[in-house]
Amino acid sequence: AGPCDLYASGGTPCVAAHSTTRALFSAYTGSLYQVKRGSDGATTNIAPLSAGGVANAAAQDSFCASTTCLITTIFDQSGRGNHLTQAPPGGFSGPESNGFDNLAAADGAPVTLNGQKAYGVFISPGTGYRNDATNGIATGDAAEGLYAVLDGTHFNGACCFDYGNGETSAHDTGNGHMEAIYFGDSTTWGTGSGSGPWIMADLENGLFSGVTTGNNAADATITSRFITAVVKGEPGTWAIRGGSAASGSLSTFYSGSRPTVSGYNPMHKEGAIILGIGGDNSVGAQGTFYEGVMTSGYPSDATENSVQSNVVAAKYATTSLTSGPAISVGSAVSFRATTACCTTRYIAHTGTTVNTQVVTSSSTSALKLSASWTVVAGLANSACVSFESRDTSGSYIRHDNFALLVNANDGTKQFKEDATFCPQTGLNGQGNSIRAWGYPTRYFRHFSNVGYIASNGGVNTFDAAASFNDDVSWVVGSAFA
Ligand code: AHR
Ligand code: AHR
């Protein structure tokens, strides 16, 4: 049985079921998600390998070979048509044209399930999915349950990495107008024990860890790589549960009455569905989503416990975040551009600005050093790498507002994430394309001889689709110095 078969047996059927990694009904053979590729704008749908099975990631890999792909739709497997697509602007605007949010890279969150490769949905700040015209999702004070499988190590404190029930207008319409799973370490509203991240409930104008607007020490800091997060609500009552998605059982972090502050009892749910954003399209948060559902009715703990067993049996596990020629920790490297204009240019820096410069064996030692980098374990994720300047030790290539800079490591989580890159096979077939860990749609690019992290055809000038593959492909060789 799949998770939604278990919810149905418990009398609380799925009214939305979303996953890019696997079918959530044992009989489901339909599409899981749609991807769109950068080369020609064509789309294709990715289905499970077999009924109830894992997504056909190989079909995506072949469709997206030598170009970029974005996840355009996450299909609802429940049959109710509650698909998730690119979120429109609301109280806040997203970074894409007309205020829409970004779409996620199709290959941004590789994992395996029982040894078979699949891809999750890597939400960078600015990315979001939504459906404002749903069918069968709880409204008003009606009962519902939600669970989601998430990356417990990918989060931030901004508002709001959510999955669940939001406003149909994408605007903040008041307390109690949302009921969504939140994951992250925001301390603006509620908190749990330790320093987070925590599973909380976004009920609008507040992330709640328990009955008050503040701290609930029973809501534990999450430390697992894969997590199962549960939120459910019915008239007068709600609960938060969670645990590792790879082993063990769910803990109950809160179960009891609705918050006593005004507006949350009864609830005023509107029945839109959000992923990766707040109810008002707040777009500052990050996180990774693998699967999740919304039910009709308040699931029993026993039903959720059987869903947790099913998730554990799916055996989520990590896999390589890199591809292409190896870039070894401890080596010293140079990056040569491969665009026809520029094949004698290398990534270098002038002060804090990363640029490309012509470097040869007879260049000055200062220029050679400025184009030479020591490869270290990724500051934010040791499955990827960081590049330390050979002339300014303790300073690393990082992105800031999508420009590449050489800055001193200030020790913050933000710096470490901005300085972590996951090299891939070069998009034009040469060398490597150096993908930003926190923005998998974006790669090292030279544009007018200046360094950026660029997406293929995005809104910034430096995102131009023309010569994208060449501009983001680098021959990584020995350092000059
Ligand atoms: O409740 C927290 C956030 O507050 C909601 O997600 C958003 O709509 C509002 O800004
Ligand atoms: O480069 C994109 C983002 O810009 C970085 O992650 C952040 O440090 C800055 O706001």
Cα distances from 185 to residues 22, 399, 438, in angstroms, run 28, 22, 16
302 CA from centroid of ligand 1 (Å)? 31
Q: Is 107 a catalytic residue?
A: no
172 CA from centroid of ligand 1 (Å)? 7
pLDDT tens figures, 360-386: 999 999 999 999 999 999 999 999 999
443 CA from centroid of ligand 1 (Å)? 31
pLDDT at 193: 98
Question: Which pLDDT band, with edges at 50, 70 and 90, does 70 fall under?
Answer: very high
Question: Which pLDDT band, with edges at 50, 70 and 90, does 350 fall under?
Answer: very high
Question: Which pLDDT band, with edges at 50, 70 and 90, does 196 fall under?
Answer: very high
The one-letter amino acid code at 26 reads S
Map tokens 């330390």 to a residue: 388
Element (H, E) at 310: helix 301-313
Averaged pLDDT for residues 128-151: 99
Question: Which pLDDT band, with edges at 50, 70 and 90, does 121 fall under?
Answer: very high
pLDDT tens figures, 305-330: 999 999 999 999 999 999 999 999 99
Across the chain, how many H-helices and E-strands are there?
Answer: 6, 32
pLDDT at 272: 99
438 CA from centroid of ligand 2 (Å)? 9
Q: Is 270 a catalytic residue?
A: no
202 lines ligand 1 (CB under 6 A): yes
Omega within 30 of 0 (cis) for the link into 197: yes
Which of 404, 405, 412, 414 has most ligand 2 atoms within 8 Å of its beta carbon, as the pocket-test mutant?
414
Averaged pLDDT for residues 193-218: 98
Distance CA 265, CA 257 (A): 9
Q: Name the residue among 243, 249, 209 with its Cα closest to residue 226.
A: 243
Averaged pLDDT for residues 201-221: 98
Question: Which pLDDT band, with edges at 50, 70 and 90, does 64 fall under?
Answer: very high
Averaged pLDDT for residues 324-342: 98
Q: Which of 280, 304, 417, 418 is catalytic?
A: 280
pLDDT at 76: 99
Ligand nearest the Cα atom of residue 442: 2
Q: Which of 101, 204, 234, 304 is catalytic?
A: 204
Distance CA 208, CA 181 (A): 10
Residue 122, SS3 per DSSP: strand
**Residues lining ligand 2, Cβ inside 6 A:** 399-402, 414, 418, 438
Q: Where are the beta strands (DSSP E) in 67-214?
A: 69-74, 84-86, 104-105, 109-113, 116-123, 129-131, 144-151, 162-166, 179-184, 198-202, 207-208
205 lines ligand 1 (CB under 6 A): yes
pLDDT tens figures, 413-467: 999 999 999 999 999 999 999 999 999 999 999 999 999 999 999 999 999 999 9
To the nearest whole number, what is the mean pLDDT of the chain? 98
Distance CA 287, CA 278 (A): 13
pLDDT at 452: 99
DSSP letter at 259? P
pLDDT at 59: 98
DSSP letter at 428? T
Q: Are 162 and 179 in contact (CB under 8 A)?
A: no
pLDDT tens figures, 254-277: 999 999 999 999 999 999 999 999
Distance of alpha carbon 183 from its chain centroid, rounded? 12
Distance CA 168, CA 243 (A): 30
Q: Are 84 and 273 in contact (CB under 8 A)?
A: yes
Cβ neighbours of residue 288 closer than 8 Å, sequence gap 6 or more: 108, 109, 120, 121, 122, 123, 150, 151, 154
pLDDT at 323: 98
Averaged pLDDT for residues 200-224: 98
Distance CA 325, CA 426 (A): 9
Question: Which pLDDT band, with edges at 50, 70 and 90, does 11 fall under?
Answer: very high
pLDDT at 128: 99
Distance CA 408, CA 396 (A): 6
pLDDT tens figures, 32-63: 999 999 999 999 999 999 999 999 999 999 99
270 lines ligand 1 (CB under 6 A): no
Ligand nearest the Cα atom of residue 454: 2
pLDDT at 367: 98
